[in-house]
Chain A
């Protein structure tokens, strides 16, 4: 591959440059932790709980220990010398490295078998015997509000992140966090409204299923630890493992190569604390690679319940809204409290409503933990409020797009928190959806068995705040450039985007810029690669760092009395007498933020930017079977000004197709004992080629995020927002039945059709 060092003649931002690592990926050479083998490495195989809630009465590992080739079997009792308080988590320190005394869900790690041969470890793990005294369990988020089964006896807020400092939980309940927002007087406004509508919606528990299952490797010496991990948050891993061990951060190194998908599954701490302590315990390198099945017992997306109630005036204006949202967080909080709060405050939707009351609850249950999954709770909310919007529009006899247009939250108006909307092209997104769907032209509704319908939905999201990104840009003696940042490229194309940003500032072709992958010994702090924050936050940091480098180069030029158009290598040559030296620019970015008032949830500065996404669909329903075929899927988004339009398009379309799976069939199915019945890709189906809509159109509206790097903002999640309600709205349009529970599988549609007969 030719990589010229000549200055770029054209702008780097706005280029549809193929991903920088394309060659590595099409030749199978991309580095994943999956590939890593270290000398003397042991493989760990996890033995997991078979009960949903219980005290561990007896754990017998003797048979496993006796298997030839087993190095050691480790349970919580063995960890005490290394980690006195073995609990971790980003919001609460509630999750044990291995179960201590109690288990809280089926599939919770209880012990680990270590062996040089992974088959031996697996075989031996089957021989471990555990006896439990079973405790009452709770699985449903609504029941968890009042259940006598309490998942955690004590709650230990982590206090790590500034936006979660207020966390305390409610001891003696399953409530990890309750968030409340009060704007105006919703109760009174509802009483005075001309029409009032109230609906309830639910979403199911699903899983990220990155095709590279979670995997971590640790190697250690007496005083240092290196963790190679498929993680979206290397900086957090280092901080959290350092805290657990009582070590300074500089003794721990966290390296992250490419990720085979993340989607939120590989955030905060997953296997890292476990491999770290196992390596310290055995003085060997230790690798744990989860199977696809085990991923289902590790991290999932919140199931949720939503009650929404709106008051509407005679002329179709929404004047008041009450929202109650219950998030099923599973047995450990993970980042659920942030989902509850950050998504909670947008629960009233992208509408200009004077009186809003929101109550949002993060609940513990005895299910596998739930975290963030491509949307941080937003798809669950949009599902509810956009079905609700359509239901009201139809009742009122107003066209669904017209009804939305009458109520849209426009730039300059306060969102429910009181934060003013800025650079949020909500109306443009709605307008483009209407155009691309040819909303005003006659629509063929089908005849006989197959009926056709169409629907739309729009949603918005506030990017999580406040979070920090740091970057360094190094210009070498020959003028070539290296970007150091801890953003993890898990497929979203961040390496390429960062190279384009640095290249734009330094007038270098982006393909000549190298981006060093996360290595906490080398790359500076970054909060995490999550919530579509990286392009904005890290993009700004990289831009600042590149500008800093440029400034230093220009300073050198003037110190050396060189002409302004002097080439970079000439500067270094003059300064050092040969090709030598380098210039390092640094950049640090944290947006402004005002925390919400605890009682009212109001704040003047809730987020650094708003993401806006909408989808429209045309579908066919087979009325004899309830099967739905999506013929056309249109996704429109405000992503600011795209840095790389082609990658933006694949992000929008990929996110929408992923959400299509969550909409139509993906669902984790539990029995009455909290046992997961479909923990494999044979029984938990994700969208494949034959599930694709015949036609997919993606469009980023012309827009600018003025505070973003070159007008850009995040896009990774935006395509998910509108898909589910658009399809439910289209089903209603086609056959007149309304589904309020995801997924919209053929059987539930058929059963509704039967009821309607």
Chain B
């Protein structure tokens, strides 16, 4: 229970406060997820390094029209940002039903992505949009796709002495994107399945497709077979149904059995595609 709280004033100081070998030293941003882990006793930190005073918050567009969001930007700020609403409406819409207002007020996008709970909504959406994060460490910065962040349940490719500093989302361009999730208990439950699609329609056919699901698997998973079926031809829902779950290892949990979750993936995939198509018109 007792731990030290470090509040560094610079990124360099923050990284120096982390420990490459000691998993009990953890960065904390909004803390909404870490506090839950601490209360449940699954995390017993010796030191928490607060990122609140690093000045890593802010939203702007970059030279290539990309969205640049500082890692310490709250989810609520992103949700309400005019830049995001106009340029990446799927992100604002997704945030509206992510946890609740209080959590979104406090939780940051960097913390959200670093937590890597497979039930979270943004990772599949950002993966489908081709977003990248910048990760800073003692040796400098590296940039990786959001899709490569999660490596398993609550596991990421971020090293213990590294921090996410920036999220970059490429411009939507001609793509239309949708995210649908399905809860199986109360409406505010963690989703049983989340489906994110980003589709570039050309008339009735699709020029480019990106489809990523969350919640049903231990990390967000790209449905490559579905993407192949979608690209360059007319939609065939029977083909789609089969492709939707063929490559997936879905595990049953408290939200539903594996078989039921596969059904939800098939249904919500179709619905997400329809929603994206409706937006493209």
Contacts and interface: CB of A to CB of B under 8 A. Distances in A.
Interface string B255-280: 01100100110010000000000000
A284 interface: no
A394 interface: no
A120 B1 CA distance: 8
Interface in A273-300: none
B185 interface: yes
Interface residues of A, number: 28
Nearest to B100: A688
B189 interface: yes
B256 A747 contact: yes
Interface string B218-259: 000000000000000000000000000000000000101100
A745 B185 contact: yes
B188 A688 contact: yes
A745 B186 CA distance: 10
Contacts of A669: 254
Interface string A80-122: 0000000000000000000000000000000000000001101
Interface string A597-638: 000000000000000000000000000110100000000000
Interface string A639-679: 00000000000000000000001000110010000000110
Given A126-B41, A624-B267, A683-B254, A688 B186 contact: yes
B43 to A, nearest CB: 14
Contact of A685 (B41, B188, B256, B257): B188
A682 interface: yes
Contact of A119 (B1, B189, B260): B1
Contacts of B263: 624-625, 750
A747 B188 contact: no
A678 B190 contact: no
Nearest to A661: B186
Nearest to A747: B260
Given A625-B182, A677-B254, A682 B190 contact: yes
A665 B185 contact: yes
A521 interface: no
A747 B184 contact: yes
Contact of B186 (A122, A126, A685, A751): A685
A691 interface: yes
Interface in A372-402: none
B32 to A, nearest CB: 12
Contacts of B187: 688, 690-691
Most buried by B among A624, A666, A677: A624
Interface in A680-713: 682-683, 685-691
A184 interface: no
A747 B185 contact: no
A290 B210 CA distance: 47
A625 B108 CA distance: 33
A688 B1 CA distance: 32
Contacts of B189: 685
A134 interface: no
A747 B257 contact: yes
A645 B184 CA distance: 36
Interface string A731-749: 0000000000000011100
A342 to B, nearest CB: 31
A646 B182 CA distance: 36
Most buried by B among A627, A661, A687, A747: A747
Given A625-B267, A678-B254, A747-B256, A686 B184 contact: no
B76 to A, nearest CB: 18
B184 to A, nearest CB: 5
A123 interface: yes
Nearest to A677: B254
B82 to A, nearest CB: 26
A747 B188 CA distance: 17
B86 to A, nearest CB: 27
Given A126-B41, A677-B254, A750 B260 contact: yes
A690 B185 CA distance: 11
Nearest to A123: B1
A751 B36 CA distance: 34
A720 B42 CA distance: 38
Nearest to B256: A747
Contacts of A661: 186
A686 B1 contact: no
A661 B188 CA distance: 13
Given A119-B1, A625-B264, A750-B263, A665 B254 contact: no
Contacts of B1: 119-120, 122-123
Interface in B137-196: 182, 184-190
Nearest to B193: A625
Nearest to A746: B184
Interface in B31-59: 36, 41
Contacts of B267: 624-625
A686 B256 contact: no
Contacts of B190: 682
Interface in A155-207: none
A687 B254 contact: no
A624 B263 CA distance: 8
Nearest to A624: B267
B138 to A, nearest CB: 33
A690 B188 contact: yes
Contacts of A687: 186
A689 B184 CA distance: 16
A665 B41 contact: no
Nearest to B268: A625
A126 B263 CA distance: 41
Contact of B185 (A122, A685, A689): A685
A671 to B, nearest CB: 11
A683 B264 CA distance: 20
Interface string A572-599: 0000000000000000000000000000
A428 to B, nearest CB: 34
Contacts of A682: 36, 190
Contacts of A691: 186-188
A750 B257 CA distance: 12
Contact of A745 (B184, B188, B264): B184
A627 B186 CA distance: 11
A687 B183 CA distance: 13
A227 B59 CA distance: 55
A123 B190 CA distance: 29
Nearest to A293: B40
Nearest to B255: A747
Interface string A405-447: 0000000000000000000000000000000000000000000
Nearest to B263: A750
A627 B254 CA distance: 16
Nearest to A751: B260
A691 B264 CA distance: 20
Nearest to A678: B254
B260 to A, nearest CB: 5
A716 B236 CA distance: 54
A625 B267 CA distance: 8
A688 B97 CA distance: 13
Nearest to A745: B184
Contacts of A666: 185
Nearest to A119: B1
Nearest to A680: B40
A119 B1 CA distance: 7
Contacts of B186: 661, 665, 685-688, 690-691
Given A627-B182, A746-B256, A751-B260, 6 more contacts: A624-B267, A625-B263, A665-B186, A677-B254, A685-B185, A691-B186
Ordered nearest first, which 7 A-B pairs have the shortest CB separation? A690-B187, A685-B186, A665-B185, A685-B185, A747-B260, A624-B267, A688-B188
17 contacts: A120-B1, A123-B1, A126-B41, A624-B267, A625-B263, A625-B264, A665-B184, A665-B186, A677-B254, A687-B186, A688-B186, A688-B187, A689-B188, A691-B188, A746-B256, A750-B260, A751-B260
Interface of B: 1, 36, 41, 182, 184-190, 254, 256-257, 260, 263-264, 267
